């Protein structure tokens, strides 16, 4: 049974930092494509960052230079380091995984991922 459990969300002021974690189990973690998505109230879910099995990363333009995705295969854990946070980063953040891999051009696509966590809330105040 695949499980993805996020943690690390919270409330910070603009300019602050948070580190999200996603503990994964139940599938071959090291060969999977994994990603972080977010969904703000009244908006659709959008891809934030992805990391492929070979370590290649992709970022949404809105977070480039501020967010860093990484993974620890030994701990089966995915991370998202978020720096220079802005109020527009406020959203529920979700971890997603696709054991079968994804075409690089589609790695931030919501429909490409078969497994999702429950989410962790990030709130950034101005």
pLDDT in tens, 76-117: 999 999 999 999 999 999 999 998 889 899 999 999 999 999
Q: DSSP assignment of the chain, as one string?
A: --EEEEE--EEEETT--EEEEEEEESS-GGGSEEEEEEE-TTS--EEEEEE-TT--EEE-TTTTTTEEEEEETTTTEEEEEE-S--GGG-EEEEEEEETT---GGGTT-GGG--EE---EEEEEE-
- CA pair distance 19, 104, nearest whole angstrom: 25
pLDDT surpassing 80 at residue 27: no
Instruction: Return the higher-pLDDT residue of 46 and 29.
Output: 46
Q: What is the pLDDT of residue 39?
A: 98
pLDDT tens sequence across 59-80: 999 999 999 999 998 999 999 9
Band of residue 28 on the pLDDT scale cut at 50, 70, 90: confident
């Amino acid at each position: 049974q695949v499980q993805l459990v996020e943690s690390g969300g919270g409330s910070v002021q603009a300019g602050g930092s948070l580190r999200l974690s996603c503990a994964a189990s139940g599938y071959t973690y090291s060969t999977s494509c994994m990603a972080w998505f977010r969904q703000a109230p009244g908006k659709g879910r959008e891809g934030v960052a992805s990391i492929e099995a070979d370590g290649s990363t992709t970022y949404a333009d809105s977070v480039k230079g501020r967010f860093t995705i990484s993974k620890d295969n030994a701990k089966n854990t995915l991370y998202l380091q978020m720096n220079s946070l802005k109020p527009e980063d406020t959203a529920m953040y979700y971890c997603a995984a696709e054991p079968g891999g994804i075409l690089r051009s589609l790695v931030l696509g919501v429909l490409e991922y078969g497994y999702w966590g429950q989410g962790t809330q990030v709130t950034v105040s101005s």
